[in-house]
A and B are shown apart, each in its own frame.
Chain A
């Protein structure tokens, strides 16, 4: 035994991926949450098709709808982040490129999420 780490410590979230089953589990939890949220999103998109901005504004200004749209955005982007990380892990094998891409993805996801949430709050406050 060349290190002071116990086998249990190695197993607990410190494999070669530097995380345990957390990534897998979060991907599944967000996927399950996105089943009802996506169905609601389909219903909304079809219901707003061909209408005007007043309809969209009034619909999204309703607290429940604002909340659901916020939840859809958050869970979608969280799920997207986890999925994109797997794509980078699978195809990018250079440490520098990998770090660069993961930072780019993380910043883009946060920027997109912040923009969505700000717009939703602004619509609700209009």
Chain B
């Protein structure tokens, strides 16, 4: 959450190719801290939603098995250059983040 999400959205024909890189530790809750030997508490993004010009295109539920700093790529047909992509996420602690980008 310290660093903002990065979104890159480009057109390939009539399909928008959207790539999102989120910033999050994605702790499963099963990893032991090397120094203390204690379990690092679960802390991971649970939901990611994406809209293009306000219309929902993606609603993802994910868990701790998605790698740290989650990467997500998806494609949307019918989108156009200049359309606005908004991505939101919520994690298991209720923390949120949001970012937007224009399709290039």
Q: Do A and B bind each other?
A: no
- B residues contacting A by CB (< 8 A) are none
